[in-house]
Amino acid sequence: MSETGSFREENRSVEVDGATLAGTLTLPTTAGPWPVTLLLGGTFSDLRDADTDPRLWPGVPKRGMYAILARGLAEAGIASFRFDRRGAGESTGELGVRRRQEVADAGAVWRWVRSLPECNGRAAMLGHSAGAYVLCRVAQEVGQPDAAVLQGALHRSIAGLLEYNYRLVRDYMCLGEAEAAWVREHSPKAYEDAMMMDAIVPAIRKGEPQVVGELDGETWTRDLSSLRYDLDLPPEDQFRLLAAPSLVLHASEDLNVPVEDAFDTVRALWAAGNRKVELRIIPGANHSFQLDAEDYATRVREKITMQNFDRPFHPLYPAVVIDYLARMLL
Q: How many structural domains compose the chain?
A: 2
CA–CA distance, 4 with 136 (Å, rounded to integer): 34
User: What letter does residue 78 receive in the DSSP assignment?
Assistant: -
Give the mean pLDDT of the chain.
96
User: Are residues 147 and 95 both part of a single domain?
Assistant: yes
User: Are residues 147 and 253 both part of a single domain?
Assistant: yes
Question: Which residue range(s) make up the domain with 279?
Answer: 2-156+236-329
Q: Decide which of 191, 210, 227 is a domain's last residue.
A: 227
**What's the CA angle centered on 66, arms 65 and 67, to 5 degrees?**
95
Cα–Cα separations (whole angstroms), residue 25 to 86, 113, 200, 207, 326 = 17, 10, 41, 40, 18
User: Are residues 219 and 290 both part of a single domain?
Assistant: no
Report the pLDDT value the prediction gives residue 103, as an integer from 0 to 100. 97
User: Are residues 168 and 271 both part of a single domain?
Assistant: no
User: Are residues 202 and 319 both part of a single domain?
Assistant: no
Report the pLDDT value the prediction gives residue 152, as an integer from 0 to 100. 98
Asked if residue 26 lies in contact with residue 75, where contact means CB atoms within 8 angstroms, the answer is no
Q: Decide which of 227, 246, 267 is a domain's last residue.
A: 227
Beta bridge partners of 214: 219
Cα–Cα separations (whole angstroms), residue 127 to 130, 184, 204, 207, 314 = 7, 32, 25, 26, 18
Whether 6 has a pLDDT exceeding 90, the answer reads: no
Q: What is the mean pLDDT of residues 17-26?
A: 97
- Report the phi/psi class of residue 110: left, alpha or beta, with left for phi > 0 and alpha for psi in -120 to 50: alpha
Confidence band of 97 (pLDDT split at 50, 70, 90): confident
Give the amino acid at 231: L
Task: For residue 254, give the CATH number of its domain.
Answer: 3.40.50.1820
Confidence band of 304 (pLDDT split at 50, 70, 90): very high
3-class DSSP state of 242:
coil
Q: What is the mean pLDDT of residues 284-301?
A: 95
User: Are residues 213 and 263 both part of a single domain?
Assistant: no
User: Are residues 162 and 21 both part of a single domain?
Assistant: no
Tell me the per-residue pLDDT of 188-213, one tens digit each, with 9 for 90 and over. 999 999 999 999 999 999 999 999 99
Q: Among candidates 8, 2, 102, which has minimal Cα distance to 46? A: 102
Whether 1 has a pLDDT exceeding 70, the answer reads: no
Tell me the per-residue pLDDT of 151-193, one tens digit each, with 9 for 90 and over. 999 999 999 999 999 999 999 999 999 999 999 999 999 999 9
